[in-house]
Amino acid sequence: MTARSRAELASASRIVVKVGSSSISGESSWRIPMIVQALSAAHRRGAEIILVSSGAIATGIPYLALESRPNDLATQQAAAAVGQNVLIFRYQEALRPFGIVAGQVLLTTGDLENQTSRSNARRAMDRLMSLRILPIVNENDTVATQEIRFGDNDRLAALVAELMSADALVLLSDVESLYTKPPTDPSAEPIDVIAADADLAGMEFGATVVNSVGTGGAATKVSAARMAAATGIGVLVTSADLVGKALEGASVGTWFEPALSGVNAPAATAS
């Protein structure tokens, strides 16, 4: 059943959780066990969890003896090939104490645009979860080119949530919630709830104006959240540090109300 409010995350049956590179790569890799502990608690109560995790390229860079993120596609792909292996290993080591096994799922936009590939991906993840395996999804950076990239994993997470008919989507960030202005602005106020039919054009979220050109930060989260909410999936945007409270249904972050007419919305009953 679709989570109609953030409180219902505590009882949602199928939840997609997305975490970004900056939250779990480099000096921030300490968060992986913390995030895993929260996912494991939800898993233990019977929820089906799908983790969409960025971080392959960022994790692989140190192993290639590079001082910064590469600009050329081939080196990015090489970093992803190395980093994805290390990233999954770190997740599996963190999951081991909880008796949970991770299953790696790598996707490109082509996989979700082709009906056969979509069906295959859904069938595989459905089976993984029926076996109580935790799918960890990432963009297949080793083969993805600019033309077949999702652009960001927030969008990938929204598409996976729709594909898997998730009850809720949780987008983890570096800030606790979305704000009306950049958080450093003294007049900035946290946004509690965004209605499904709210007009957000021109409104600022963090340092980015909605509908502006950009591939990261608050703008991509707003875009992905609206995309998922339009299909009837409730979305919470909050800090990776609050993932435990988020999955317990606490009043944290910014909640995007799901559209009642979305494909995952409950069917109307005759009066």
pLDDT tens for residues 216-226? 577 888 989 99
**How many Cβ atoms are within 10 Å of 203's Cβ, its own excluded?**
16
Q: Which amino acid is at 216?
A: G
Is 223 inside a domain boundary? Answer: yes
Q: Is pLDDT larger for residue 219 or for residue 215? A: 219
- Is pLDDT of 178 > 80? yes
Q: Is pLDDT larger for residue 100 or for residue 2? A: 100
Long-range contacts of 26-34 (CB under 8 A, 24+ apart): 26/58, 26/62, 29/59, 29/90, 31/240, 31/241, 32/90, 32/91, 32/94, 33/94, 34/241, 34/243, 34/244
Name which of 44-48, 93-97, 143-147, 245-249 the model is least confident about: 143-147
| pLDDT level of residue 271 (50, 70, 90 thresholds) | very low
Is 142 inside a domain boundary? Answer: yes
pLDDT tens for residues 95-110? 999 999 999 999 988 8
Q: What is the pLDDT of residue 150?
A: 64
- Is pLDDT of 79 > 80? yes
CB 231 within 8 A of CB 2: no
- Give me the domain span that covers residue 152: 6-173+191-199+214-256
Annotation: binding site: 18, 54, 141, 153, 173-174
What's the rounded mean pLDDT across residues 77-105?
96
| pLDDT level of residue 7 (50, 70, 90 thresholds) | very high
Q: What is the pLDDT of residue 269?
A: 34
Q: What is the pLDDT of residue 262?
A: 59
| Most confident among 141-145, 194-198, 214-218 (mean pLDDT) | 194-198
Q: What is the pLDDT of residue 210?
A: 42
Q: Which helix (H) or strand (E) holds 199?
A: none
- Is pLDDT of 158 > 50? yes
Is 94 inside a domain boundary? Answer: yes
Q: What is the pLDDT of residue 214?
A: 28
What's the rounded mean pLDDT across residues 70-75?
87
| Most confident among 40-44, 68-72, 154-158 (mean pLDDT) | 40-44
- Is pLDDT of 121 > 50? yes
Annotation: binding site for ATP: 18, 173-174
User: In this structure, what are the phi and psi dihedrals at residue 198, rounded to the nearest 5 degrees?
Assistant: -65, 140
Annotation: binding site for substrate: 54, 141, 153
Q: Is pLDDT larger for residue 233 or for residue 70? A: 233
How confident is the prediction for the chain on average, in pLDDT? 87
Is 263 inside a domain boundary? Answer: no
CATH of the domain at 111: 3.40.1160.10
Is 271 inside a domain boundary? Answer: no
Is 242 inside a domain boundary? Answer: yes
Is 114 inside a domain boundary? Answer: yes
What burial letters (b/e) apply to 41-52, b meaning 16+ CB within 10 Å? bbbeeebbbbbb
pTM for this prediction: 0.90
Query: What gap in Å lies between CA 51 and CA 159, rounded to an integer?
Result: 13
CB 37 within 8 A of CB 244: yes
Angle at 160 between CA 154 and CA 163, to 5 degrees: 145
**Dihedral sign for Cα atoms in the order 90, 87, 240, 109:** negative
Structural domain tally of the chain?
1
Is 1 inside a domain boundary? Answer: no
Query: What gap in Å lies between CA 230 and CA 258, rounded to an integer?
Result: 6
